[in-house]
Amino acid sequence: MEKIVSGIVRFQQNAFETRRSLFAELANGQSPEVLLITCADSRIDPNLVTQTEPGDLFICRNAGNIVPPHVRVAGGVTASIEYAVAVLGVKDIVVCGHTDCGAMKGALRPDALDDLPHVQGWLDHARGAVEVVKATHGEAGLDQLQAVTEANVLLQLQHLRTHPVVAAKLATGAINLHGWVYHIESGDVTCFDEQVNKFVSLESRYQTLLAAARVAV
């Protein structure tokens, strides 16, 4: 706690002061354009990786960057999605997995989670990803962890489409879905490209956006 408390003091004395006008604006509301659904893993820092400021991202974090299929029972992830899309009007939703994901390791070995029934039940939402890897690779073990991580991102994108607010926006072209995997050791981000049906480099997936950004600079 000492590190965290001293960090708050440094934030108040330094980082806050340099962004005082930004926080004055944010004190009256938010208008993020992106909903980022990612893992609760402590090694993932969405704002650091994307180099964004407070107010840029609406972030939803949980073990395994999971999006449960839509049901009538209220849930935190479902409520966050509904609010981000219907109220904040985000234009893009990103599901971002990551390498060495403990949740995906758990999904591969659900029998090892008997003493963690809530975790075990939660990761059942990733079971389809494990089955996909079994079908395509002939097996699903730690050697296939990367494949499961990618398959899980795609599965959660499928689940997203079952949410009425998302389905409505997709039907009118008002929102875009993105599947990413963050590579902790290298800092790379790979992104699913529907045209080639695989994960590719961020530069390859977003050539047009990056070109426009370079022109703007």
For residues 40 and 46, is the Cβ–Cβ distance under 8 A? no
Q: Output the CA–CA distances (angstroms, integers) from residue 23 to 15, 26, 53, 58, in the order listed.
A: 11, 5, 10, 16
Q: Using CA atoms in the order 76, 79, 84, 87, what is the torsion angle rounded to 10 degrees?
A: -150
Which residues pair with residue 93 across a beta bridge? 35, 177
pLDDT in tens, 19-36: 999 999 999 999 999 999
* CATH superfamily for domain 32-216: Carbonic anhydrase (3.40.1050.10)
The rounded distance, in Å, linking the Cα atoms of 62 and 64 is 6
The whole-angstrom distance between residue 207's C-alpha and the CA centroid of its chain comes to 21
pLDDT in tens, 125-158: 999 999 999 999 999 999 999 999 999 999 999 9
Q: Kindly report the pTM of this predicted structure.
A: 0.94
The whole-angstrom distance between residue 116's C-alpha and the CA centroid of its chain comes to 23
* Residues 74-98, mean pLDDT to the nearest whole number: 97
Which sequence spans correspond to the domains of the chain? 1-30, 32-216
